[in-house]
Amino acid sequence: MRARLLTLKKLYTHLPWRVCSMNKQLLILFMITTCLGAEFAYAKKEAVLPTPPSDVELMKRAYESQNELVFKKYISKLLMKNPNHFEALKYLADYHLKNDRLGLAQIIFNKALKKFPKSPEIHNNLGIIALKRNMKEEAVFLFWKTLKYDRSHLEAMLNLSSIYLESYNFERALSLLKRAYPLLEKNMQNKELRSQYTKVMNNFAVALSWSRKSKEAQKIYNSILENADISVNILLNYATLLVDVLDNRRKASRILEKADFLDHSDNYNLQIKRIRNRITNKR
Amino acid sequence: MLGHKAVVRLSWFYLLTLPFLLLGLVSADEAQIEELSKEVSPFILTRAPASVRSRSAIKRTRRTIPKVRNKISNVKKKKSSLRYIKPTSQAKLYFPKGTDESELEKATILEIQHLYKLFKRTGKANIHLRLASLYVEQGRLIEYRLYDKFSKEMQQYENKKRPTIPTMNLKPVEEYSKKAIRLLNLYLKRFPKDPRADEVLFHLGYSYFQINQPNKGKAQYELLEKRFPKSKYLEPVYFHLGEYYFDRYKWPQARSYYAKAIRFRDRFYSFSLYKMAWCLFNETRISAAIKTLEKIIKESRRSSNKSINNRLSFSKEALTDLVNFYSHSRLKPVDAYSYFNQWFPGEEKVFSAVEKLAFAYKDLGNPKAVREVFHLLIKLSPYNPKSYEYQYEVVDAYNSVSRSIFIQELSKWVKDYGPRSRWASRNQSNAKLIRESSQKINKYVRNYAYRVHSSYLQTKKVSSRDVAYKIYSLYLKAFPNSKSNEDVRFQFGDLLFDLVRYRASVDQYNIVINRYKKGKHHEAASLNRILALQKIIPSESEVRKMARKADGKSIPFPAVVKEFEQAVTQYIVRYGKRKKAFDMLLVMANIHLEYLHLDQAISYWQRVISKSPSKDVSTITDAVNTILDIYNRKKDYNNLEITARKFLKNRKIYKLPVAKSVRKVLGGIEFKKAEILSNKGEFKLSAELYEQYAKSNSQVKLSITALYNASINYEKVGDHIKVLEIYQSLIRSRGIVNNPKIRLKIMERLPVLYENQGQYLKAAYAYKQYASVYKKSRKTPDYWYNAGVIFDGMNLHKEAVKAYLSYYRSSKKNAKNQVYYLIAQIRERQGDIQRAIGNYSKYLNAPDSNQLNQIRSAHKLAILYKKIRKKSQALQWDRRTIAISKKYKKGASYAAKAQFNLTYQAYARFKSIKIPSDTSKQAKAVQKKLSSLVRLNNEVKKVISFNHIPEVVSSLALMGSANKHLAQTILAAPTPKGLEPDKLKKYQAAVKQNAAPFMKSSKDFFKQALGKSRESKSYIPGLKEIQKELNAGSSVNFKETVYPLALESL
């Protein structure tokens, strides 16, 4: 088509217009315009055509939809094309990690790490493996390494903050959570993060609480109660804050009622009872 | 008359036997030549290889020498033999020239009839006797007539004008003789005393001879001699008796009767002399015989002697026989001319006599005399037209006597009487003579050459060969442009071939081919020229040397090879349908191949295929294989493919076994193409082609290799999917068993591929499979190890342990001891503490270079022993951990932990010291506790010395706890009994005062620990206690639930 068009253009420029009759001139112009129109239509049609999804995308879709067979097929395909395919290795390791094949996941991550030594994702995931093996010291080291390569790596920050908080290093936990909070708000589209949101916010509130920033902690709890699904533990934490620090017994009682309503199991019953005792004692 | 009969009988004998003899000779010649041709060895070329492709495919044609007649037909033989010089016919004596015999016979018959009537009527004695004598006469006349007739018929037979041999019926003669005998006997009875009885006896004797009763005849003659000693009939009687003995070879008796007859000096004088000369001659009294003949000649010259009838003069016969007798005598041949000069009148007759003598010598087989006499004649008349024949006779005389003289004379003949000789120029006017002489020489020399050549072929005598060569050369020099040259040159070419003078041979053949394009030898000459050229073209080994120097480039044909090719081409063009032409195609094909003219070689081989008969399987197979091989050598795979496909369509080929190999080659072409593409770096195309080949040739062994090569190329372009597919199909295929190398490579590569693809479980099993199949491979330990690591990662602990142990068994390195560490980890994860402890212990007892793992193992053992509450062993391993760490100056964190564990034991001991209620003992107990605290402090210092923050923090916290515990212990100590309230207050105040510094230092330690924890980002497990301690009493009570997070990032 293009070739034809070029010849027509040449024809147009080199035509002895003066010699041609009017009818002929009109005919040539008509031909040129029709060809240009066709060309334009062709180009438009080309642009409209949807691009097929790449193998990586298909692999990710299969992973998300937990279609194991398809996922493995695309992983193999991608790795056969490139044995060091970053995405493929990452997803494969994660797949094994999720299936509790920590050793294999570690092997794959280490393999990927050889090719991508500054990958924050790999370090974070290796940190998780260490965490799962209860090697918290190593996990902390790996999470910090993640943050070294990506200062704003949200998962690493949150993972690290949770470890610190568990070990009562709430100052470090709070600083990390403060950094993570705005990012968390931005990354709410992340499904996993969304599912962990309340836990993170709870940890944030606990860290604030332990850092004697009770008001800020209260705000966080309130926001959790407004926006997300509530777990009994969070309600109990909030009640504790209200009773022990803020001395808001009424609200605490309401929260406890809510908690008691949500879960009536023995595990929580005892805790609810203890907090209620503290309320009555204070009265 | 008797002599005449003998001559007749002799000539009959010769007439009857000669044709058969001649026939026998001719057939013998033919048989010989046939035999010769059979014996001619086939020309097997020395450089011929065994196969059909050899240059020796061309065989030389059978050589046939032209048939040689024993006698040259146009040479008129002189009637010089004995049988021709026998005494003259007796009949002629009785019936001289001019006599009309038939008229005489008629007259005699009339007279007989007339007399018979008279005799019957009268019976008179005269009439009786006359009638008897007329019967005798009539018999003689009839005999003459019959003989005359017989002679003419015989002449006709000799001249081949009559088909059958004539016979002579003498019955009419016998009838007359018998009648005469009857009448004569009757006469003797009637007239016993008749004076004419001698005549009666003479006729009677004669008639008996006529009816072939010679003894009766002889008896009558003897009776006549006895009864009538003076009878006038005695002279003929003696002569007849002489003849009687002459015919019976009784020379002396015959001579005595001839001598008696001579005495009469009458009618039979000369004849008797002549016959007596013959008797003497036969008695080998040659000089006497010559003298007798000389006497006859002398007598004849005496004209005065009138008593001798001129009619019966034997001077002519005597002169003729003189030459004959001379030849038998001891007289010198050279003197013949002067001798004959005495007897023969005129030079011409003398010359003629000498000539006859020469022939007589020839008949006698005296070549020396022949040579001398003929040379004498030539000397006498060098330019005589007959001279060339004289020289011929000399040559002929030496034909089978002395070869050297023969050749000498032959050369002389050719030179002196050839078409370019002086003799020929002198006799130029006689064109016929020149033509005839030239033809004669030509024919003779040629025939002789053939004969010698033939003899050489039969006997393989070198002398014959050399003579033949000389004669051919002589001939061709004298007759370079003769019509019969084709034959001679062809034969000469053959001879030269045998003389290993191939170039000269080729030259002769060239003349035959170029000059006689429609000649009978054209084909054979064409063929033989090729054979001769084949002998002088460079040998195969020479060409091979040249080819080696040419380094694979084509070698131009030398001039002689070009000539050879031209000769072959000419032959094929003209005699393309001959089998030899096919053989030549083979030879040319091979030569082109040797000279690396590959294109030409291909075209020749293709012609070989098209021309070869379908049954010639070996040739077709050779040709097909060679053509394909050439294309392969040229790496012209396109044409190789095209040609191979054509072959498979060819009716001659597709049914042959070679078609199978062609199909293989066809497959191989794809293989080769793929190989070339691979070498060019077009791996994908190459891989596809290999795969295609393998699919279409799945039964072929090479298909496995092709598939493997395809996998290699696919791997090069990164198409690992294909690689894996191919590997899997190869591993499953049956043929892989026959390709152990490929199997090894695939099994070696397959687990790596699986691993690269992320199919770890398959990879692990593939590693395991390889390692278990190839137990002695260098890679086996590594593969066992890899399998173990993957199984371990997949939580397949049993398999992992097995693989690790296999690795341990197969590896010879010290690092193999690492498996104990790995197995210990697996056991630990499994919760099998005992086995874990066992493996960690084994690891530590075995040599290994990984020092950190050793420290870790010791630390792990301490932990595990602690778990199973074997505190002493746990502490022991803590101490060992510290020791190993110090030894390797590594693993400070583990050493710090171990040291902390030891410190904690000190703390536990410190805590265990209790203050008794007995006040007197309290001070001692406190003192003991204080000293324990000091020791604890020292232990803490050790922990701090490792500078591992978590342990430092924990140690400081431990010190805080210890101080707090001491303060609390002091405060909680029982007060002494019986104290007054004031004293009690003072006492309590003093106790508080004592406890206060410990409490303070406790807080300080905790604050120190907290401060230290802030220095590090590390995970500090002891911080919880510190925070609780420091925040005690505040609103923060750490009762909230913290969610542990493990957020993966993707």
Q: Best of A71, A87, A104 to disrupt the B interface by mutation (most B CBs within 10 Å)?
A: A104
pLDDT at B268: 84
Q: Verify whether the Cβ–Cβ distance A97 to B793 is below 8 Å.
A: no
Q: Which pLDDT tens digit goes with each residue over B333-361?
A: 989 999 998 888 888 889 888 998 998 88
- Pairs across A and B, CB distance < 8 A: 170
Burial class (CB in 10 A: 0-12, 13-18, 19+), A206: buried
Q: Higher pLDDT residue, B696 or A99? A: A99
* Banded pLDDT at B363 (limits 50, 70, 90): confident
pLDDT at B717: 86
Task: Say how far residue B165 (Cα) sits from the centre of its chain.
Answer: 61
How many Å apart are CA B387 and CA B682, to the nearest integer? Answer: 95
d(CA B402, CA B896): 134
**Chain A residues within an 8 Å CB radius of B1039:** 240, 244
- Inform me whether the pLDDT recorded for B900 exceeds 90: yes
- Find the helix packing angle between B485-498 and B462-478, rounded to 10°: 140
Q: Looking at residues B141-167, what average pLDDT do you find?
A: 86
pLDDT at A46: 53
Confidence of residue B139 (pLDDT cuts 50, 70, 90): confident
Task: Return the axis-axis angle of helices B269-282 and B251-263, rounded to nearest 10°.
Answer: 160
Task: Quote the pLDDT of residue A41.
Answer: 55
Q: Which of A125, A131, A203 sits opposite B1042 (nearest CB)?
A: A203
Residue-wise pLDDT for B998-1020, tens only, equals 989 998 999 889 888 888 888 88
Residue A40, pLDDT > 60, answer no
Q: What share of chain A is helix, strand, coil (3-state, %, to 5)?
A: 80, 0, 20
Among chain B residues, the shortest Cα distance to A84 is held by: B756
User: A113, A106 in Cβ contact below 8 A?
Assistant: no
Core vs surface per residue B243-253: b (16+ CB within 10 A) or e: bbbbeeeebeb
Query: Where does the pLDDT of residue B172 fall: very low under 50, low under 70, confident under 90, or very high at 90 and above?
Result: confident
| Backbone CA torsion sign across B412, B418, B420, B424 | positive
Looking at per-residue confidence, does B37 or B739 come out higher?
B739
- Residue contact B1046–A128, C-beta within 8 A: yes
Cβ pair B943, B896 in contact under 8 A: yes
Residue of B nearest to A125 (CA): B1048
Residue B694 contacts by C-beta under 8 Å, 6 or more apart in sequence? B703, B704, B706, B707, B710
Q: Please check the confidence at residue B330 and state whether its pLDDT lies above 70.
A: yes
Q: How far apart are CA B838 and CA B821, in angstroms?
A: 10
Q: Which residue of A has its CA nearest to B786?
A: A107
Convert B933-945 to b/e letters by CB count within 10 Å (16 or more is b).
beebbebbebbbe
Contact B757 A82 (CB under 8 A): no
Which of the two residues, B305 and B943, has the higher pLDDT score? B943
One-letter identity of residue A252: A
Chain B residues in contact with A192 (beta carbon < 8 A)? 1047-1048
Rounded Cα–Cα distance for residues A121 and A126 (Å): 8
Per-residue model confidence (pLDDT) at position B922: 80
Whole-number percent of chain B with pLDDT over 70: 89
| Nearest C-alpha neighbor of B366 from the set B341, B335, B329, B340 | B329
Are the C-beta atoms of residues B691 and B710 closer than 8 Å to each other?
A: yes
Which of A124, A144, A212 minimises the CB distance to B1017? A144
Distance from CA of B828 to the nearest CA of A (A): 12
- Token pair recorded at residue A57: 């995308």
d(CA B234, CA B964): 206
Which residue of chain A comes nearest to B1015, CA vs CA?
A172
From the list A77, A124, A166, the residue facing B721 with the nearest CB is A77
Closest CB to A168 among B724, B1023, B1050: B1023
**pLDDT of A23 over the 50 cut:** yes
Is residue B767 very low, low, confident or very high in pLDDT (cuts 50, 70, 90)?
Answer: very high
> A51: distance to nearest CA of chain B, Å?
23
Query: Which residues numbered 115-134 in A keep a CB inside 8 Å of some CB on B?
Result: 120-121, 124-125, 128, 131-132
Question: Which helix (DSSP H) or strand (DSSP E) does residue B77 occupy?
Answer: none
Alpha carbon distance B292, B299 (integer Å) = 10
Q: Enter the tokens of residue B839.
A: 């493996």
Q: What is the pLDDT of residues B670-716, one digit of tens each?
A: 788 888 888 889 999 999 888 888 887 777 778 888 888 998 898 88
Task: Quote the tokens at residue B358.
Answer: 């020469």
B760-773 helix and A102-115 helix, angle to the nearest 10 degrees: 90
Q: Is-contact B628 B662, C-beta < 8 A?
A: yes
Name the residue type at position A26. Answer: L
ipTM of predicted assembly, 2 dp: 0.79
Q: Residue A185: its pLDDT value, please?
A: 82
Pairwise pLDDT comparison (B752 vs A281), residue with the higher score: B752
Note the Cα B784 to chain centre separation in Å. 60
Question: What pLDDT, on the 0 to 100 scale, is given for residue B855?
Answer: 93
Helix, coil or strand: residue B565: helix
Query: Using CA of residue A22, residue A24, residue A28, residue A30, what is the dihedral sign?
Result: positive
Report DSSP state, residue B623.
Answer: H
User: What percent of chain B is modeled with pLDDT above 90?
Assistant: 22
- Cβ-contact B543, B555 below 8 angstroms: yes
Closest CA to B823 of B841, B844, B846, B840: B840
User: In the prediction, which pLDDT does A9 show?
Assistant: 60
Give the pLDDT band (50/70/90) at residue A189: confident
Give the per-residue pLDDT at A7: 59
Question: What is the model's pLDDT at position A11?
Answer: 55
pLDDT of residue B825: 92
A10-24, B398-412, B745-759, B827-841, range with the lowest pLDDT: A10-24
Closest-CA distance, A115 to chain B, in angstroms, reads 13
pLDDT tier at B251 (50, 70, 90 boundaries)? very high
Lowest mean pLDDT among B469-483, B503-517, B694-708: B694-708
**A250 exposure class (CB count in 10 Å sphere: 0-12, 13-18, 19+):** exposed
Confidence of residue A47 (pLDDT cuts 50, 70, 90): low
Instruction: Please give the average per-residue pLDDT across A81-107, as a whole number.
Output: 90
Q: Positive or negative, the Cα torsion across B959, B960, B961, B963? A: positive
Q: Are B362 and B397 in contact (CB under 8 A)?
A: yes
Cα-based angle A100, A101, A104 (whole degrees, multiple of 5) = 155
Quote the minimal CA–CA distance from A243 to chain B in Å: 10
Q: Are B815 and B848 in contact (CB under 8 A)?
A: yes
pLDDT range class, residue B309, cuts 50, 70, 90: very low
At residue B38, the pLDDT reads 35
Contacts of B1047 in chain A (CB under 8 A): 124, 128, 154-155, 158-159, 192-193, 196
Task: Check whether B883 has a pLDDT greater than 90.
Answer: yes
Answer whether A94 sits within 8 Å of B718, measured CB to CB.
no
Q: Provide the pLDDT for residue B129.
A: 85
Q: Is A218's Cβ below 8 Å from some Cβ in B?
A: no
Average pLDDT for B425-433: 89
Taking each helix axis as running N to C, give the angle between helix B2-39 and helix B125-158, from 0 to 180 degrees, rounded to the nearest 10: 20
> Which two tokens mark B886?
């110090």
Q: Which of A81, A155, A196 sits opposite B1049 (nearest CB)?
A: A155
Residues 6+ apart with CB under 8 A from B31: none
Pick from A38-42, B293-297, B410-414: least confident: A38-42
For residue range B84-119, list pLDDT tens digits in order: 334 444 444 444 444 566 778 888 888 888 888 888
Distance in angstroms (rounded) separating the CA atoms of residues B228 and B287: 36
CA distance B745 to chain A (A): 19
Res. B51: pLDDT tops 90: no
Query: CB B758 to CB A82 under 8 A?
Result: no
φ and ψ of B17, to 5 deg = -90, -30
Is the pLDDT at B443 greater than 60, yes or no? yes
DSSP-derived secondary structure for B425-476: HHTTT-HHHHHHHHHHHHHHHHHHHHHHHHHHHHH--HHHHHHHHHHHHHHH
Return d(Cα B488, Cα B510) in angstroms, integer: 13
Distance from CA of B673 to the nearest CA of A (A): 26
Q: Do B1045 and A192 touch (CB under 8 A)?
A: no
Residue B776 is classified by DSSP as T
| Chain B environment of A236 (Cβ under 8 Å) | 1041
Are B239 and B257 contacting, i.e. CB atoms less than 8 angstroms apart?
yes
Closest partner residue to A80 (CB to CB) among B757, B795, B1044 is B757
Query: Between A101, A162, A196, which is nearest B793 by CB?
Result: A101
Strands (E) in B327-397, as ranges, are: none
Q: Which is nearest to B210 in space by CA: B240, B165, B239?
A: B240
Contact B336, B373 (CB under 8 A): yes
- Chain B nearest-CA distance from A90, in A, is 7
Encode pLDDT of A133-176 as tens digits.
989 999 999 999 999 999 999 999 999 999 999 888 888 999 99
Of the partner residues B1024, B1028, B1041, the one whose CB lies closest to the CB of residue A167: B1024
CA distance A223 to chain B (A): 18
